[in-house]
Amino acid sequence: MSEIRRVGVVGCGLMGSGIAEVCARSGLDVLVSEVAPEALRAGQDRLTTSLAKGVARGKLSAEERDAALSRLRFTTDLGEFADRELVIEAIAENEQVKSEVFATLDKTVTSREAILASNTSSIPIARLGTATSRPDHVIGIHFFNPVPVLNLVELVPSLLTSELTATRAARFATQTLGKEVITAKDQAGFVVNALLIPYLLAAIRMVESGVASTEDVDAGMVLGCAHPMGPLRLADLIGLDTTKAIAESMHAEFKQLAYATPPLLSRMVDAGLLGRKVGRGFYDYSG
């Protein structure tokens, strides 16, 4: 079983940059893509800042930071992914756009043994696999934000994923990246979001209906249930647009009211109040 050394990451937002960072810190050759030069520059800045924080917090040395940076390359052309042995897609939760990326990677990545993986939070992997001519090599490798800090990876093989692909992906996550793996059935939400999203939506409905304030809902779960972060602050961290997209994907599959998007969440997303990444969601982060 060949060891994966050349990794591609499609997308350099919060998740993509985190995935690229842990891969580079693990000694891998990492190529990162974005759709436009300005997005690529923002992603590079995000990576550089994160590595600098790692040094400041004593999590890695200046030499380790420099070595990680030397393993990172950036591009706006997916055509440069031809030699990759594993490509991890980490773009927005939009099934059509993701499927288009997988169709492009199918034509671009030369090795038929290469794994094409998605970091999707909720979209069934089989649908992405069928956008390619190699669905047996397509799998979900779902990381959690912030990727350099949180140790969990959800591994999501579809009905079409080969056993060898699943084994290689698990070995990559555990032995190469040092993550802990849980395996989930290929259905919307997988394990973590199937539990988490109804909880977040219930908290939003509570604020929406006036049962309690944002601060009191969060304080209740932090102080009363020993959660490290309240549900509304967590939704801000995930991104309210991402939270809404995951909920919609799960509601479309299961048709359960627990997954229905609260009107307040829809209005906030429409207004561009997406959470911490834009400076304002349920809380104001501009200060």
Give me the catalytic one of 33, 121, 122, 249.
121
To the query of whether residue 142 is one of the catalytic residues in this protein, the response is yes
* Residue 121 annotated to the active site: yes
Give me the catalytic one of 17, 89, 154, 249: 154
Nearest to 165 by CA among 153, 174, 155, 175: 155
Kindly name the residue from 50, 142, 158, 251 that is annotated as catalytic: 142
Among residues 50, 158, 193, 249, the one annotated as catalytic is: 193
User: What's the CA angle centered on 285, arms 280 and 287, to 5 degrees?
Assistant: 130
Of 139, 220, 55, 96, nearest to 229 by C-alpha is 220
Residue 164: half-sphere exposure toward Cβ, Cα within 13 Å: 10
CA distance 25 to 276: 26
Sign of CA dihedral 111, 99, 183, 276: positive
- Point out which residues pair with 32 in neighbouring strands: 9, 74
* Catalytic sites, residue numbers: 121, 142, 154, 193
